Structure 1
């Protein structure tokens, strides 16, 4: 009885130190035919996309990607990702849409209502990657290079988007007495039946948000140190995220598809996280054995931009090949120039040599003799100058 009284006395203190349930979940925009409801969940998702895109665009530009290509890629990736995320959620939690055991008692009209919550990250990543591949092909860049640039931004977007679960009061964990326990309104449809109204729950949205924020810092630090290529940073992201998702998912108490493997029954998302982790680890190791790509460029083969040829230390030197018979020596070329003082040509001019040569003599012999004579005279003059 005494422990019960102590727990009752402690309850108000725990509630006052807990995370309060939100008293705001969105706002309405009046329209001529009614109003448009803007949900806080959607705003969190949008804020995550914007911030994640900012980080991705900064990293993508540093890789030397073509200007504006990030927008050409995400215009395909985001819609595909949203559709994939919704489809995965519907498959992994089908009761609300198809009824328990697919008995037809569900409401199919709820499937497109994503503002109510429900986007599975695995479907978003898989189908989003398909959209990104389309955008990359159209932009002439490698998907592997883009996902490496986008990995930290993707984790940052998830960290912000997770707060949408808080405003929807959904996807929380089991009961807890920790001072950061989460309050859930007792009249909320997600409140577990049969529990006291003042029960506090594990804020799994907060755990995952903090885990993801720490992952952003870790990924950026590792990439700065190792400069990962060939999509290895993306697979490192997948390993990190799934490692945290396993223990966070195991804490949740919301309805989910249960899968039995090797006699172990647990949530579908837990098994998915395990398999994705193992696959990501295998890809990370295999791609690491290939080393860095050569050349290390974000462009697809044959899609590199034209580079202007400029003179520089590494520029090509074009050598002109000429016929040896037509090569004129530098001295012969200078010999054909007029003398600056007399205006006459040098004695090496063949025409003048032939005209000045005595009859019967050989021009070549005379020219040689003249050359020797000139050399002797020059040498004498030089010696006279030095002995002066």
Structure 2
């Protein structure tokens, strides 16, 4: 009886099946699950970032004003980065250059999204008056959550998987899939790198939320922690992926990007700690403060008295006893 139960349990987890479909048709409209995963990730990031930014004293939903600029630039830059790092796939012999525009088929690079999104976020913050680093710290857990959700799009597309494996959680890939490596037998299992990254990212969300409590990780330091955490995991997952990629000095381009991400993340933490040893007194730059209903604006434009909401955990204990929050 026990042996039979163990055998059944082993057979249940002997592999991870891939979805048999990656889209649905609603009349003339084709909806790709990849796109739905990306959209779901964006929504989750916006909701979590809005909650965190509002707790810091920002106007509710100001994150949407910033996202209207940041998200489109992130998507465009993500696609451009992917195409540039997979040049032969789109512009090599026998390739169709028009497929570089087929973003619904998959192929957006997270590091490209970070570059484009950072530019868009900076512009959005200039527009709204939010401090860029305040927004970056508020966004850090949300963007990692969005990346975890978005990775399920790779699962639906049966793409970006790892080396062959005989582990119980090996990923099934259809042998007629264009990404299936030639020369391997049908039924070969592969490392589910999408799942590894999902688990790593969700764990990272919990770590960042914990680190973000209080004031010790402000002025962009929490974003630096995000960049270092995500990139450290990406070095591992990227090293076992077998999808085509440009190779530089024996390493995939995204491995180099991940190494650079770790370095930049740690540099942000160290540099911002030295530049800003104190805490962020306001999410707004001087002169752009938002006074919620029930607040009393003081003579000094750098100070406001908030009588409508209790102080959040992000304000040090020394100021939590006072009704004045100093920027």
| TM-score computed with the length of structure 1 as normaliser | 0.71
Q: Residues 73 and 139 of structure 1 are in contact (CA less than 8 Å); yes or no, is this contact kept in structure 2?
A: yes
In structure 2, distance between residues paired with 1:120 and 1:79: 14
Per the alignment, residue 258 of structure 2 pairs with: 273
Alignment of 1:344-363 (within 5 A): none
Per-residue deviation at 1:121?
Answer: 0.6
- Distance, in Å, in 2 between the alignment partners of 1:295 and 1:171 is 40
Q: Is the 8 A contact 2:50 2:62 kept in 1?
A: no
- Equivalent residue for 1:55, pick from 48, 51, 61: 48
The equivalences for 1:232-271 within 5 A come to 232-260=221-249, 265-271=250-256
CA distance in 2, matches of 1:176, 1:128: 35
Among candidates 173, 180, 196, match of residue 185 of structure 2: 196
Q: Tell whether 2:287 aligns with 1:302.
A: yes
Alpha-carbon shift at residue 225 of structure 1 (Å): 5.1
> Is the 1:172–1:203 contact (alpha carbons within 8 Å) kept by the matching residues of 2?
yes
**Does the CA-based 8 Å contact 2:81-2:109 persist in structure 1?**
yes
Residue deviations 1:321-376 (CA, integer Å, cap 9, x gap): xxxxxxxxxxxxxxxxxxxxxxxxxxxxxxxxxxxxxxxxxxxxxxxxxxxxxxxx
| Aligned counterpart for 1:27 among listed residues 10, 24, 39 | 24
- Alpha-carbon offset, residue 43 of structure 1: 0.8
Q: Tell me how far apart the structure 2 counterparts of residues 43 and 191 of structure 1 sit (CA, whole Å).
A: 24
**RMSD of the TM alignment (CA)?**
2.1
Distance 1:15 1:97 in 2: 39
Q: Does 1:81 align with 2:74?
A: yes
Kindly indicate whether the alpha-carbon contact (under 8 Å) linking 1:163 and 1:205 is maintained by their aligned counterparts in 2. Answer: yes
1:184–1:64: structure 2 CA closer, same or farther, 3 Å change rule? same
- Counterpart CA distance in 1 for 2:110 and 2:188 is 29
User: 1:15–1:198: 8 Å Cα contact kept in structure 2?
Assistant: no
Once the two structures are superposed, the pairs formed by residues 1-388 of structure 1 within 5 Å of their partners are: 17-30=14-27, 35-99=28-92, 105-224=94-213, 226-260=215-249, 265-293=250-278, 296-305=281-290, 307-309=296-298
Q: CA offsets, 1:35-86, max 9 Å, x none?
A: 1210111111111111111111110100101233111000111101000100
Indicate the structure whose relative CO is greater, using CA pairs within 8 Å and at least 6 residues apart.
2
Length, aligned pairs only: 291
Q: CA deviation at 1:226?
A: 4.8
**Aligned counterparts of 1:276 and 1:314: Cα–Cα separation in 2:** 40
Structure 1 runs (4+) deviating above 4 angstroms are 13-16, 292-295, 312-315
Q: Taking structure 2 as the reference length, what is the TM-score of the superposition?
A: 0.84
1:72-120: CA deviation from partner (whole Å, max 9, x where unpaired): 0001111010001001100111112111xxx5x4222112211100010
Q: Distance in 1 between matches of 2:190 and 2:290?
A: 56
Unaligned stretches of 5+ in structure 2? 1-6, 299-304, 308-321
Which has the higher Rg, Structure 1 or Structure 2? 1
Gaps of 5+ in 1: 1-9, 316-388
Which whole-Å CA distance do the structure 2 matches of 1:73 and 1:161 have between them? Answer: 20
Indicate conservation of the 8 Å contact 2:219/2:280, yes or no: no
